[in-house]
Amino acid sequence: MLDKSTKIYVAGHRGLVGSAIWKNLWERGYHNLIGRTHAELDLTNQAAVRAFFDEEKPEAVVLAAAFVGGIMANSLYRADFIMKNMQIQCNVIEEAYKHGVQRLLFLGSTCIYPKNAPQPMKEDCLLTSPLEYTNEEYAIAKIAGLKMCESYNLQYGTNYIAVMPTNLYGPNDNFHLENSHVMPAMMRKIYLSKLLAEQDWQKIRRDLAIRPVGANIRENGEVVRYVVDGESDEALICKVLAFYGIEANKVTLWGTGTPLREFLWSEDMADASVHVLLNVNFSDIIGVEKYSQVHYGVAADGAVDRNHSTGRGGAIPSLGEIRNCHINVGTGKELTIRELAELVVKTVGFEGELLFDATKPDGTMRKLIDVSKLHSLGWTHKVEIEDGVQRLFDWYKQSLA
């Protein structure tokens, strides 16, 4: 357990999970928190990250910052997804180690698992077969991040724990249509379609003033970039929204609606993350005795030799392979994209037509994780999907007030 005065750096503290983790820590009495916006600190800049650690000297780190997006963004910005995330992870984890940070929490994603992994996905199925192509770069970056944590623990005796959350949603979610995840994008599309049908241009313009929408639309053989906000012409707004499948009382979503997905309320994820940060050690995951042998060596009679630190856990053949030390974080429950859409339709009060474009990609057909390791470490989720969707819609409407 960290002392309440511990200086904790939360990277990505304005994001979906980072903001929830900050709030959770604060409510638990951890008030010595440090955060930097992207404008204040570019985590892809190695020199800037080093200067930040030199100045602030955090004692614990939560690495929740990442370059993220849905299927469309992953397809468009493949180089950015692997490069930016690798830069962020390498810079923060390495500087944390160099500055004596013993406890770090790294947030990954369940997209690290193979496309055709056995369901529900256990931590041990990592790297057993090919990844889903549409998010391969992001997944590879996150795999590298969890392997960095694992490797630093084995070599240097740190407590760098990686957690792999399922699909997240909640306060401060990303509703920007070009790079948002499935639930907020779906909710915004359905809500805007309802407003178009009602001709409620005041609310439509308010929505676009807060979250402008851009689209690259092909016209006469050329791609034209349009961006609409609260001041844009009604006809242009309708044109851009239609690009995203949003029409008056008619919404078209990508894919067939058949993929199964698991969703976790972001504040539940934050609670799980803080629980792990405060209570879980690397030794709890690989076994106390094995961890002792990793870092103290083994005497001739097979006993742990605590007088000699080896720092070379991977070089002790008798211990076998130490891998897959990350922790899945989720609910262990799933529903189809169509079922989710119907739940959003009911929550929003949408009475229009809901269509699915089967020519667009579905992504991985099923992504359910095994959360038995997390449960064994003392944490289970609290918010069920029906309650969570209502909470998200309430937050979204409040953000437009």
CA distance 192 to 400: 12
Residue 136's pLDDT is what?
Answer: 92
CA distance 101 to 159: 9
Is residue 304 over pLDDT 60? no
pLDDT in tens, 39-79: 999 999 999 999 999 999 999 999 999 987 666 666 777 89
Name the one residue in this structure whose structure tokens are 């070379």.
312
Residue 71's pLDDT is what?
Answer: 64
Is residue 153 over pLDDT 50? yes
Residue 172's pLDDT is what?
Answer: 86
Domains and CATH numbers, the chain: 8-171+263-329 (3.40.50.720), 182-260+333-368+384-399 (3.90.25.10)
Instruction: Determine contact, residues 81/142, Cβ cutoff 8 Å.
Output: no
End-to-end CA distance of the chain: 40
The catalytic site residues sit at 138
Helix (H, G, I), strand (E, B) or coil at 335: strand
Residue 235's pLDDT is what?
Answer: 97
CA distance 35 to 44: 16
Residue 315's pLDDT is what?
Answer: 45
Instruction: Determine contact, residues 114/128, Cβ cutoff 8 Å.
Output: yes
Tally the residues of the chain.
Answer: 401
Residue 255's pLDDT is what?
Answer: 94
Instruction: Determine contact, residues 112/146, Cβ cutoff 8 Å.
Output: yes
- For the chain, the average pLDDT equals 91
pLDDT in tens, 79-108: 989 999 999 999 999 999 999 999 999 999
Residue 317's pLDDT is what?
Answer: 55
> Of the ranges 59-68, 174-183, 224-233, 317-326, which one carries the lowest mean pLDDT score?
317-326
Average pLDDT over residues 357-379: 92
Among left, alpha and beta (phi > 0; psi -120 to 50; other), residue 299 is beta
- Both tokens of 119, joined, read 């369901």
Average pLDDT over residues 124-129: 96
